[in-house]
Chains A and B, each alone.
Chain A
Amino acid sequence: MELLDKYLQAVKFWLPSAQQNDIIAELRDDIRSQAEERESALGRSLNENEWEALLKQRGRPLLVAEKYLPPRWLIGPILFPAYWFVLRLALLCYLLPWVGVWIGLVIVNPAYRAQHLGLALFGDILFLFSHAVFAMIVVTIVFAAIERGIEQGKDGNWLDKDWSPRKLPRVRDKRRIPRAKSGAEFIFGTIFGIWWLKILWTLTVFETGGIRVTLPSSWHKFFWPFLGLLILNLSLSAIDFARPYWTRERFGARAVQNLLSAIVFFFVLKDFAPVLAEVPAILPQDLTSLSGVITFGLTVAFAIACVVGLINAFVNTWRALRREDSPVRLNHRVAM
C-alpha cells in the first residue's frame, strides 16, 4: 500500500488544488477495486512486484493527472500558423542579413577577419544566437498575450465574424511588375544616384557649420562604375514601367545588374579607405573615433549591399532559368 500512496501523492501534485482530494479519492477506490479483483482471483494479497506492475499499467503520474486538466496551450491551434509564419519571418529577417554581413566583412576586410576568426568566432555565434533567441522570446510573448486575450474574450468566435471574401487580398499575378514599384525605383534611384555621384565627384559627404566629412581621393575612381550602374538601373526601371511584365530576359538583365552591383561593392570594400572628419573644437582622439564610427557604418552598409546583390543575382538567375510555363504539380496522394 505504500506504493499506492506514493503513486497517488505523485498524481495529486499535478492536479488543480480544488479537485485534488476528490479525484484522488476516486482514483484510490478504482485502483483498490482492481487490486481486490486480482487478489480474489489469486486467492492471496498482491506482493510488491504485483503492485508495481498494476501501477505501472496505469501510467506515469504526470500523464494520469494531465487527463484531468483542461487543455491548455501557450499558442493555440488558431494562432499557431500565424505565430509560426511571424517567427520564421523574424528569424529570417534578423539572422540572414547579419550572417551575410559577417561573411562579407570576413571576406573583404582583413582587419575584421583577423579579429573575428578562431575563438572569437564563438563569441560572434553566441551574439547572433542570443539575439535570435531574444527575437523568438519577444514574438512568443506577443502571441501568448494575444492568445490569452482570445481565451478571456467573451466572444470566442471573433475570428469567424466580420470577414468577407471581398476583403481578401487580390489574386497575385506573379508575372506582373507593379508600376508603383518601378516608378518609385526610378524616382528614388535618380535622387539617390545623383546624390551619391556628387559625393564621389566632389569627395565631400557632409559639410555644414564647420563640420566636414570627406572621402579620400582614392574614392574618385569609383565614380564611373557607379555612373554605369545608375544608368543601367534607371534603364531597367523605365523598361519595367513601360512594359510591366516579367520575362525570362528581364530576369536575366536584373541578374546581370545585381551581379555588377555586387562586384562594384566588393571592390569598394576591398580598397576601402577611411573617411576623413573635420570638426572644430574637438579633441583629436574624439575626431579619430568619429571617423572610425562613420567608416565602420559605411563598411557595413557596403557589405550588406554586396551580399544582397549576390543573393538577388542568384534568385534572378534561378527565375530566368526555370520553366515559367510548367504546369501546377498536384499531389495525387491527397486526392486518393
Chain B
Amino acid sequence: MTHGIQSDSVLDNLRLELRRGCLVVAVLAELRTEQYGYTLRKALTHRGMEVDEGTLYPLLRRLENQGLLVSEWREEDKRNKRFYRISREGKQVLKQLLVEWQIIGASIELILQESGHGTLRQVSASS
C-alpha cells in the first residue's frame, strides 16, 4: 500500500517535470494568436494541457522577460486585460524547440524499437 502511494507520488513528480518543459512549447505555440491569461489557460486545458494559474502567470512573465513574448494592457468587456502574443524572437525559439521536440520523440521511438518493446504507440497502448 505504502509502495503504491510512493510510486504514485513518484509518477506525479515525473509527470510534472515532463510537462514543465512541454508547457513552454505549448504556451509559445498557443500565443501565435493573441490572448489574455484566462482565455489562454482555458485554451490549454481544452487541448489537454491543464495548467494552474499559479504556474501559468509566472511563466508568462518569465517568457516576456526573456523576450519571447510581448504583452499590452487593453480594455475589453469594460475591464483591463493583459494580452500576450509571441514575439519575433519567440517564433524562432519555438521553431527550434519543435525541431528539438521531434528529435527527442524520434530518439525515444528508436530506443523503444531497438530494445524490442515495440513502437511508442504500442507501448503506451499496452501500459
A interface list, Cβ under 8 A from B: 23, 25-27, 29-30, 32-34, 58-59, 63-64, 67-68
Q: In the bound complex, do residue B54 and residue A26 qualify as a contact, i.e. CB atoms below 8 Å apart?
A: no
> Which of these binds chain A: B26-34, B79-87, B115-123?
B79-87
Indicate if B58 sits at the interface (CB-CB under 8 A): yes
* Alpha-carbon gap, A27 to B37, bound state (A): 9
* Alpha-carbon gap, A23 to B37, bound state (A): 12
Q: In the bound complex, do residue B38 and residue A30 qualify as a contact, i.e. CB atoms below 8 Å apart?
A: yes
Residues of chain B from 7 to 31 with CB closer than 8 A to chain A in the complex:
none
Q: In the bound complex, do residue B81 and residue A29 qualify as a contact, i.e. CB atoms below 8 Å apart?
A: yes
B residues in contact with A63, CB < 8 Å: 54
Closest A residue, CB atoms, query B60: A26
A residues in contact with B80, CB < 8 Å: 25, 29
Query: Shortest beta-carbon distance, A190 to chain B, in Å?
Result: 60
* Alpha-carbon gap, A167 to B73, bound state (A): 56
Indicate if B57 sits at the interface (CB-CB under 8 A): yes
Among A26, A32, A34, A59, the residue within 8 A (CB) of B57 is: A26
Of residues B36, B37, B53, which shows the largest number of chain A Cβ atoms within 10 Å of its Cβ? B53
B residues in contact with A29, CB < 8 Å: 36-38, 79-82
Closest B residue, CB atoms, query A29: B81
Indicate if B91 sits at the interface (CB-CB under 8 A): no
Q: Which 7 A-B pairs have the closest CB atoms?
A: A33-B38, A67-B58, A67-B54, A68-B58, A30-B38, A26-B82, A30-B37
Interface residues on B, range: 10 to 19
B interface list, Cβ under 8 A from A: 36-38, 41, 53-55, 57-58, 61, 73, 79-82
* Alpha-carbon gap, A68 to B36, bound state (A): 18
A residues in contact with B79, CB < 8 Å: 29, 32
Query: Shortest beta-carbon distance, A35 to chain B, in Å?
Result: 11
* Alpha-carbon gap, A67 to B56, bound state (A): 10
Q: In the bound complex, do residue B53 and residue A30 qualify as a contact, i.e. CB atoms below 8 Å apart?
A: yes
Of residues A27, A33, A59, which shows the largest number of chain B Cβ atoms within 10 Å of its Cβ? A33
B residues in contact with A34, CB < 8 Å: 38
Q: In the bound complex, do residue A30 and residue B57 qualify as a contact, i.e. CB atoms below 8 Å apart?
A: yes
Q: In the bound complex, do residue B57 and residue A27 qualify as a contact, i.e. CB atoms below 8 Å apart?
A: yes
* Alpha-carbon gap, A67 to B58, bound state (A): 6
B residues in contact with A68, CB < 8 Å: 57-58, 61
Would you mind naming 7 contact pairs between A and B with Cβ atoms under 8 Å apart? A25-B82, A29-B38, A30-B57, A32-B79, A34-B38, A58-B54, A64-B54
* Alpha-carbon gap, A68 to B54, bound state (A): 8
A residues in contact with B61, CB < 8 Å: 23, 68
Among A26, A58, A64, the residue within 8 A (CB) of B37 is: A26
A residues in contact with B81, CB < 8 Å: 29
Closest A residue, CB atoms, query B53: A30
B residues in contact with A58, CB < 8 Å: 53-54
Query: Shortest beta-carbon distance, A165 to chain B, in Å?
Result: 30
A residues in contact with B73, CB < 8 Å: 25
A residues in contact with B58, CB < 8 Å: 67-68
